[in-house]
Amino acid sequence: MINLLYASLAILVMPAPAAGTMSVDQVRVNQTVMLGDARITPIAVLRDDRCRNEAPDGCPNVPGTLVVRLLVEQGNKTGWIDVESGRLKRWEKLAIAVAGAQPERGNGGPISSDTYRFSILRLPADVQIFE
C-alpha cells in the first residue's frame, strides 16, 4: 500500500512536457515538415548500427546508434545538424531530437533510405540541454 502511495505521489510531481513542445511522426527522408515556425527535413542517414535487443543472428546485444542529418530552416536562417537518435541537439534557439526511427534494424543488413520513417521532436528555445 505504501509503495502504491509513493508511486502515485511520483506521478503527481513529475514535470509536464515543456509548453511549446511539438512533434511529428512518420517523416521520410527528403520530406519537409513544419514544427512551429521551423521547417525540418531529414536529408540523410549518416550512420545506423542499431540492432534488435533479442538478436539471435549474431548482431551485438547493444542498442547501437542512428545519426540523421537534418536540414533546418527558420526565418531567414538555414543550416543542417547531425542528430543522434534519442539525443537533443541545439540549432540557433531550437532544441531538436530524432526521437525514434523505423524500421528496426535486424541483422545489420542494409535499409533503403526511402524505407526510413522518423519521429522528430522540437522543444522551445528555453529548454536546458546538458551534454
Total Cβ atoms within 10 A of residue 21: 15
The pLDDT value given to residue 45: 93
* pLDDT tens for each residue of 1-30: 444 433 443 333 334 445 567 888 899 999
pTM of the model: 0.73
Task: Kindly list the domain boundaries of the chain, sorted by start residue.
Answer: 19-123
* pLDDT tens for each residue of 60-80: 555 678 899 999 999 999 999
The owner of cell 549474431 is: 58
